Structure 1
């Protein structure tokens, strides 16, 4: 980073960072035990929420330069927001982090390779669902054509980083292009309609995890919901917002608000904690835009996770849920718990299943290390966090680890593979498990 870039970034910190929010941090340290990177780094202050806020404040005040060490501290943060529920001052750390990352990324010169990758991911791929579908279709071709078997047998995958080799083993079987394209946009309720809902399909959820989306839709029908699926909805923008591409995130937010705002529905439903946390923050994201601020708040006010809706509609009381005798445990999605404030509903639904024994995993609310693409770009720290998570997962002695977010699901599958527990322990999305328990899978 050049001196000129540092000066610009410092000025942007001064003008754009929320001074009141920075000062709201009392440096009390309640956040420290909840922060995975603080613990895993050997209690390094600059890798804690308190330390990162102090760095942001120092940059804004001109006391330090926004050098590589500051950037590294911010990059290493998972963005899990576990610090927010335990903060006595209610500091919105996630908002501060996103703003700081955006300032740095928009005002520093990226290498040609980094610029190319960022343009491909943030501009050419994720804003376009048809392209995501096509890319997922290529993965499906790899799985079904024999290329996957060939790559594994010949050892071609050994050239990839170890965590990506393991990730390749746990990817779900991708649906066909026909299956991804031929889904209706309206579903009637089973029985007398109780509520009308709109479903946010997501990017990877509606391609790689299409089966889970279909399970979610069926659960909503069984719960008495009519469901509308707007065809012109877009990526939630979480990946952009967390990676210093805030303007692009705003544009995606506006597309989604337009897609949903004229629907006469009681809920806008998501089944991915990471997406939900960003969607419910649209009011903050667009707060400075007079044309969109109120519309964004109205959108977010209707947003609910699938587990909350099922709980509110007494799905667990009205539908018989039963599975073969087994122990199950639950791994919280950080964003579902910390941003959407949803922790009790999924547990209540799981405990209502006859035949299972629910065991609470120690530190179930601690991040698993997935955090979007964190397990790819920050592999070492991610795997360190995952290894500790698997210690607690194994102690639960569960046959199934239930999650509520696709990233968490893959990360837990990755942990199961790393611990050589495949065939003994399974990781499953809560929607898929509930539909199975309802006898429809």
Structure 2
């Protein structure tokens, strides 16, 4: 085997970035295999499984296997859903390993000019400064508001784009409407800070406003610190954590206060990364303690709503006769990293207008996985097709989820299957708000 200079650099990069102790935790037992979407969808190819990828990481690190296109594809095709972690009896930290691996690859990989430029725009500008994200999303709203969207669709301009992009365009949320605050039903009980997120505070700004309204209804005092940064999840998942650390540092500094009990978020993917700030900043003595406090205070909106007494409030509402059939699609990171899966279901089951039914594969990835559906459309499409088959078998009126990427992906699936007339996807906050909006107008403090 001829070892090139690039191969040596790649091996050295793996030795620098990929923790050998974490690699050695894997016992190759195979308990992860049934939980891995890519392994199941790719003819049970070991190279597309968690233990197979870990074996490749170790082999590249040790110089046994040269890093080539097939090895890179194995890492690229990983969704990063981390469903393998709860299934692993040895507690292998696969999420950390795939992030370290992608960072090692990016440090040495000879990228094209287009890829370098794209990464620079995305990771140095778009997901660093919230104003840049706001400007980008304002163009989407302008596209919808001016009637340009209708014109573009009518003349068939979108047919020039790949099919998956055309489907995603059809799934874009409409321009945000003004949210009416809900009437308070509980006296003040706690104070929290709200992590607004980048996509959630632009593309889904209405959902953020409803989040605040629901919490205030339950007597929660909500503080929204200014100048927040993107959580850094896309940086971390794309091998760009070095660039993204400035986001993490800005956020831990901004939210470092004893004034509030929790730091709440309403996006499963963001919440998981926020919860692991303590890991990502552990080696930085300046921010280590602040990162620990930040991670300890981080909480998902469903968990906080339960703590704030939403279930008690819902128990006071009269049940409706005609109930909507609703199911729930887990956000992978919310379930597998933050271990939040009961609270959303408890809330949905308690809503007075809901007949809840469990989706048979609710705990498996929908194929969104951050920007995976853009980078790996074929694999993401196959995974979504499997997801939509079980959704169609259940025939719910509403599929509720708790992450913007999942929401867009499920909406894409509904559009692709031409089910818009009978089915819709909704963020859990939007669905709760809509379900109790009329009750809130007549509610009394209890």
Question: Could you say which TM-score interval applies, normalised by the shorter chain?
Answer: over 0.9
Number of aligned residue pairs: give it.
434
Query: Are 1:285 and 2:280 an aligned pair?
Result: yes
- Given that 2:183 and 2:217 are in contact with CA atoms closer than 8 Å, whether structure 1 keeps it comes out as no
Query: Are 1:214 and 2:216 an aligned pair?
Result: no
Give unpaired runs (5+ residues) of structure 1.
Answer: none
- Does the residue aligned with 1:232 lie in a helix, a strand or coil? coil
CA distance in 1, matches of 2:123, 2:173: 24
Counterpart residue number, 2:426:
428
Counterpart residue number, 2:333:
335
CA distance in 2, matches of 1:209, 1:438: 20
Counterpart residue number, 1:118:
119
After superposition, what is the alpha-carbon deviation per residue over 1:215-235, rounded to whole angstroms, capped at 9, x for unaligned? Answer: 111111122210000112100
Counterpart residue number, 1:348:
346
- Given that 1:36 and 1:367 are in contact with CA atoms closer than 8 Å, whether structure 2 keeps it comes out as yes
Written as runs of structure 1 = structure 2, the 5 A alignment for 1:247-258 is 247-258=242-253
CA distance in 1, matches of 2:268, 2:198: 13
Query: Are 1:239 and 2:234 an aligned pair?
Result: yes
Query: What is the Cα-based RMSD across aligned positions, in Å?
Result: 2.0
After superposition, what is the alpha-carbon deviation per residue over 1:257-311, rounded to whole angstroms, capped at 9, x for unaligned? Answer: 0110025111100000000011101011111111112211110000000000111
Query: Are 1:300 and 2:295 an aligned pair?
Result: yes
- Given that 1:170 and 1:413 are in contact with CA atoms closer than 8 Å, whether structure 2 keeps it comes out as yes
CA distance in 2, matches of 1:190, 1:287: 41
CA distance in 2, matches of 1:378, 1:242: 14
CA distance in 1, matches of 2:81, 2:154: 38
The alpha-carbon deviation at position 251 of structure 1 amounts to 1.2
- Given that 2:353 and 2:435 are in contact with CA atoms closer than 8 Å, whether structure 1 keeps it comes out as no
Which segment drifts farther, 382-391 or 259-268? 259-268
Counterpart residue number, 2:254:
259
Query: Are 1:38 and 2:39 an aligned pair?
Result: yes
CA distance in 2, matches of 1:190, 1:214: 18
The alpha-carbon deviation at position 12 of structure 1 amounts to 2.0
- Given that 2:220 and 2:308 are in contact with CA atoms closer than 8 Å, whether structure 1 keeps it comes out as no
- Given that 1:199 and 1:228 are in contact with CA atoms closer than 8 Å, whether structure 2 keeps it comes out as yes
- Does the residue aligned with 1:349 lie in a helix, a strand or coil? helix
CA distance in 2, matches of 1:304, 1:126: 22
Residues 22 and 340 of structure 1, relative CA distance in 2, 3 Å threshold: same
- Given that 1:189 and 1:220 are in contact with CA atoms closer than 8 Å, whether structure 2 keeps it comes out as no
The alpha-carbon deviation at position 318 of structure 1 amounts to 1.8
Counterpart residue number, 1:73:
74
CA distance in 2, matches of 1:433, 1:92: 34
CA distance in 1, matches of 2:239, 2:5: 19
CA distance in 2, matches of 1:236, 1:424: 35
**Could you state the TM-score of these two structures normalised by the residue count of structure 2?**
0.94
- Given that 1:49 and 1:93 are in contact with CA atoms closer than 8 Å, whether structure 2 keeps it comes out as yes
Counterpart residue number, 2:22:
21
